[in-house]
Amino acid sequence: MLKIGGYINIIIGIGHLIGLIWPEQMFEKTGVLEEMKALAQIHFSLPYLLTIFVALIFLIFGFYGLSASEKIKKLPFLKFGIYTIASIYLFRGIAEQLYNISQQTTTIPETIQSVVAVIIGLLFLIGGLKKWKFKIE
């Protein structure tokens, strides 16, 4: 599970970087076009820098998943990192969807993104629980 979560994050990170070839289309598909246009008003490079930063975060998350699945060298604070990543994804998926429902602004793409976030969060959570032998009795 951790390996799958790791590879998914690496693919998402690389996807962000490749998307910079067609930034406007990527920002539109991911629902952040207006926000990125506002950032570009401050400085033209900000949307690109933010996207690179986000891609690096996804890559780091991916490396933690692969590290926990023993596919790469052990990273520092591995157990803490895995559960933090799981928490971030679960919070993002659940809280955003609850907020959108409460505001009656839910869209299909946002719902899909939330479901994907919850799935990735569960991969990290359940993978971590299995790795570190958490047993419910």
- Taking all residues of the chain, what is their mean pLDDT, rounded to a whole number? 94
State residue 136's pLDDT score.
56
The predicted pLDDT at position 53 comes to 97
Average pLDDT over residues 78-100: 96
In angstroms, what CA-CA distances link 18 with 12, 13, 48?
Answer: 10, 9, 11
Residue 135: the pLDDT is: 61
Please list the alpha-helical segments (H only) found in 43-107: 46-68, 78-103
Q: Is pLDDT of 86 > 90?
A: yes
Q: Tokens 């958490």 correspond to what residue?
A: 134
Cα separations (Å) of 124 from 7, 92, 105, 135? 12, 14, 29, 16
What pLDDT, on a 0 to 100 scale, did the predictor assign at position 25? 94
pLDDT digits (tens, 9 = 90+) for 25-44: 999 988 899 999 999 999 99
79: phi then psi, degrees, rounded to nearest 5: -65, -45
Angle at CA of residue 130, ends 78 and 71, nearest 5°: 50
